[in-house]
Structure 1
Amino acid sequence: MSHNHIATARRVLDVEARAVAALGERVSDTFEQACELLLACKGRVIVTGMGKSGHIGSKLAATLASTGTPSFFVHPGEASHGDLGMITTEDAVLALSNSGETGEILTIIPVIKRKGAVLISMTGRPSSSLAQLSDVHLDVGVEEEACPHNLAPTTSTTAALAMGDALAIALLEARGFTAEDFALSHPGGSLGRRLLLKVDDIMHAEERLPRVNRDASLSDALLEMTRKGLGMTTVVDDDGRLIGIFTDGDLRRTLEKGLDIRQAGIADVMSPRPVTMPPGHLAAEALQIMETRKINGLVVCDADQRPVGALNTQDLLRAGVM
């Protein structure tokens, strides 16, 4: 028997999309209350759930933790065998259960209550035991599962995931959590490198910075470029202030004009008024400037327009910024 896989995929996506859209109509004062309780929490947000709800809960705990709300997942079955010791009176517990009658969760609720921790639940049944025992309940019920037998958790887990994301982002915005804050939680990834790395971290500075005086010959400048291996050199005046730059591209243009590189002075062939930026700026900003201006190198200058560093696209590539 043949199956129309595309039709099935579209039906599943339609069912789940409608369920998520319907959640918006149910976001009310209880959502506001949940946010206020979590913002007031002095401890951590402990997320718990069994089965598929547990998988969603684990993802939600990770999302909360990476967006400014300290959180971790506790398996309710393990909680009954010692892990409840992780929960303190200053914590908030976020429990996920579609039925609201998950035995492993209901078993640990008395202890949670005795500890004085806040209990927030997300279920598909507002009249369930878990919902009634919670300080705040978020309704994530769905009309049907995407499973043709209406059994396998599909639409219900998608709804819980979406509501959890809404909760995490609401908390993120309330805390004023920035992109740089996010990067601090992801220092090993490309996002962290893009958001945290500054030009100071990767630029060629001090002895590695190519620099010649404006009275230098073109031959001297080429020798400096070779020694420093940056494909460019800065040109400074007698006070050390930047007045120009000379790059591999400038060298090609000089040769095309037929100038004698042994006789020419660097001041005659340099590019004046080069693109610069101050230290302390993000490497990602340097990349944006270089792409916009269609240049391969950038000079970093202090407030007195004295070069303190230089970098090129290869430096950004090696640093993982591009």
Structure 2
Amino acid sequence: MCLQQLTLQQILNSVTDDINRARAKLAHYTQAIQETAELLDANFQRAVDVLVQLDALLVLTGLGKSGLIGQKAAATFSSTGTRAVFVHPVEALHGDSGVIEPDAALLAISKGGGNAETIEFARQFKSVAHGPVITLTEPNSNLESFGDIALHIPKLPEIDEWDLAPTTSTLTTLSLCDVLAICVQQRRGLTAEHFAQFHPHGTLGKRLLLHVQDFMVSGDALPLQSIHASFSEILYEISSKGLGAVILVNTDSNFFGMITDGDIRRLLERNEDVTKLNAQECFQLSRRGVDLPQVTHGTTTPETKAIDCLQQMQVDRITSLVVLQGEKPIGIIRLQDLIAAGL
């Protein structure tokens, strides 16, 4: 039957059936995770202890979907402070076992634990590395007899109608790998800053590692004028430096305030005769001088995290902050630069 021949009611019934099936399968997943948690025992604690104390490489292996999970798990371990690499069991038996170093550990993944290549690699690993072998399978597998620590996933049906597509088993296996990696990370006391060091170009890394000094405009590019400067000098500084603002300093070269091109527009809209005003008078007549603190508002320090400045500017609805070293202005950091950097 083609789609054009289906009645509206048939289509609605089909959608309802799909949603109900999906909810049932997700409920099955929920139960699978619960049963995985119930299988945790002293062996899980032993696995965490071994990996926390591990100074050598953690090697992960697996075939098929277990291999794909092993690749993802290796990446998770690596990004959370445990040196890890995935080695395909077949390739390992044909030369790739050269990456194995003394005292390395192996995490061998196999749903049923009967895969001959994975078993043979586990056997070879023990003779080469002399390190601990952790197996992750369903209970009572052949593979675990070649290991030192056995972790288990529950033996449950997959969610397809033929119980063939790796779904439930991949969910529980991946979940257990993730939990193991994070428990090791927490035992080692790694912080968010450590995590960011493994992701320096990612959003998290940028938010935790980048500071104001990494983005600020400084030196000759900084628009700076005395509070006694004339209006034309202010206008020239704003225009020539191209930052849409000028920083004002007092006679001690300490920060006094900032005038933006928006402040100038507001003065003109109020019919102020700005051409006769000096910088200090312009500042005091501007919105910024009337409604907001003259010195503390709109400032930051070079050591402040860039993400904190971004959030401050968003809350205060401003587009730049003056960077102070003590009371001396040394730079400007702009909202548009932080957004462009991916913060």
What range is the shorter-chain TM-score in?
A: over 0.9
Of 59, 71, 76 in structure 1, the residue corresponding to residue 72 of structure 2 is 59
The secondary structure found in structure 1 opposite 2:247 is strand
- 2:226 equivalent in structure 1: 213
Contact 1:290 1:296 in 2 (8 A): yes
Contact 2:39 2:154 in 1 (8 A): no
- 2:317 equivalent in structure 1: 294
1:192 Cα shift? 2.8
1:94 Cα shift? 0.4
Gaps of at least 5 residues in structure 1 are none
The secondary structure found in structure 2 opposite 1:106 is helix
Give the 5 Å matches for 1:1-322: 4-115=17-128, 116-125=130-139, 127-270=140-283, 271=289, 272-273=294-295, 274-303=297-326, 305-321=327-343
1:188 Cα shift? 2.9
Q: CA RMSD in A?
A: 1.6
1:104 Cα shift? 0.5
Contact 2:111 2:169 in 1 (8 A): yes
Give the letter for the 1:32 counterpart.
Q
Contact 2:229 2:279 in 1 (8 A): yes
Contact 1:19 1:142 in 2 (8 A): no
- 2:4 equivalent in structure 1: none
CA deviation vs aligned residue, 1:245-282 (integer Å, no higher than 9, x gap): 11122112211221112111111122322321111222
Deviates more, 1:280-289 or 1:171-180: 171-180
CA deviation vs aligned residue, 1:81-100 (integer Å, no higher than 9, x gap): 11112112221100101111
Contact 1:45 1:72 in 2 (8 A): yes
Length-normalised TM-score, structure 2: 0.89
CA distance in 2, matches of 1:319, 1:59: 28
Contact 2:274 2:282 in 1 (8 A): no
Q: Percent identity?
A: 38
1:240 Cα shift? 1.2
Contact 2:35 2:154 in 1 (8 A): no
1:51 Cα shift? 0.7
Length-normalised TM-score, structure 1: 0.94
CA deviation vs aligned residue, 1:56-92 (integer Å, no higher than 9, x gap): 1110001111111111100001111111121122211
Q: How many matched pairs? A: 319
Contact 1:91 1:117 in 2 (8 A): yes
